[in-house]
Structure 1
Amino acid sequence: MELIILGDRGDAMAALAEIVKERGITNAAVVSCVGAARSFTVSNMRADNPREAVHTSGRLAEVAGNGEIRDGVPNIHVTCGLEGGQAVAGHLEAAEVGGPYSLHVYLQRL
């Protein structure tokens, strides 16, 4: 099991892609992704057209999820907890981290 801490690196998804490339990780299971983000964007499929994505963005969220690294490309699905107990779930497109906001990604190489 490996831990990647995404803290002061800007966009967590871009940083994760860079780190897995640096570490030579081609395929892995993202067992857990946990932390918080300053802002985030997730996508889902439209019900009437699954090939079209619907993007949802928000700020200051608790983040939990899992996924995979396939051919060096991260694919993570998350639930983002918002103020007031609301949540948004989907494919994590971007998550801004830094300061007190960081994501911890636990992965197992395949």
Structure 2
Amino acid sequence: MTHLIHISSGEEVLATLQDAADRLGIQAAGITLIGAVQTATISVMHKDDPKADRIRSYDQPLELSGTGEIINGEPHVHVTLCGEDLTVGGHLHGAVPRDFFVRAYVTPVTAP
């Protein structure tokens, strides 16, 4: 069964996903995200050192789509963000909707 997690204005995306995973007892799942946020922090790998993160923060209305997983009860999400003057993607560290919302579709899985 897929769970619909609604992330409202002012709620932090990853914290809300973590709370839902804890409340629902989900240890492993696939995640699909869609919505829009006002702030977001993401990272990408440094081209000369793939173990070094380049962290960037944005504060403007951004369309968000993403995919990820819950492993050992913890969400891990990668996103694409599109605004009026930019398109970026990477590992999500945090995001908050303001004028809109984000919906997460969380589908629990069992490991073989």
| TM-score after normalising by structure 1 | 0.90
Q: Which structure 2 residue ranges, 5 or more long, are not aligned?
A: none
Residue aligning to 1:53:
53
Alignment of structure 1 residues 1-110 onto 2, 5 Å: 1-8=2-9, 10-30=11-31, 32-58=32-58, 59-84=60-85, 86-98=86-98, 100-110=99-109
* 1:2 positional shift: 1.4
Q: Counterpart of 1:10 in 2: which secondary structure?
A: coil
What is the count of residue pairs matched by the alignment?
107
The runs of at least 4 aligned residues of structure 1 exceeding 4 Å deviation read none
In the alignment, is the contact (CA less than 8 A) between 2:9 and 2:96 conserved in 1? no
**Cα distance in structure 2, aligned partners of 1:64 and 1:49:** 27
Q: Counterpart of 2:51 in 1: which secondary structure?
A: coil
Deviations 1:27-61 (A, max 9, x none): 0011x200000110111111111111001111210
In the alignment, is the contact (CA less than 8 A) between 1:29 and 1:67 conserved in 2? yes
Deviations 1:3-32 (A, max 9, x none): 1111145211112111111111110011x2
* 1:97 positional shift: 2.1
| TM-score after normalising by structure 2 | 0.89
Letter in 1 for 2:108: R
Alignment root-mean-square deviation, CA: 1.2
Q: Which structure 1 residue ranges, 5 or more long, are not aligned?
A: none
In the alignment, is the contact (CA less than 8 A) between 1:40 and 1:94 conserved in 2? yes
In the alignment, is the contact (CA less than 8 A) between 1:9 and 1:15 conserved in 2? no
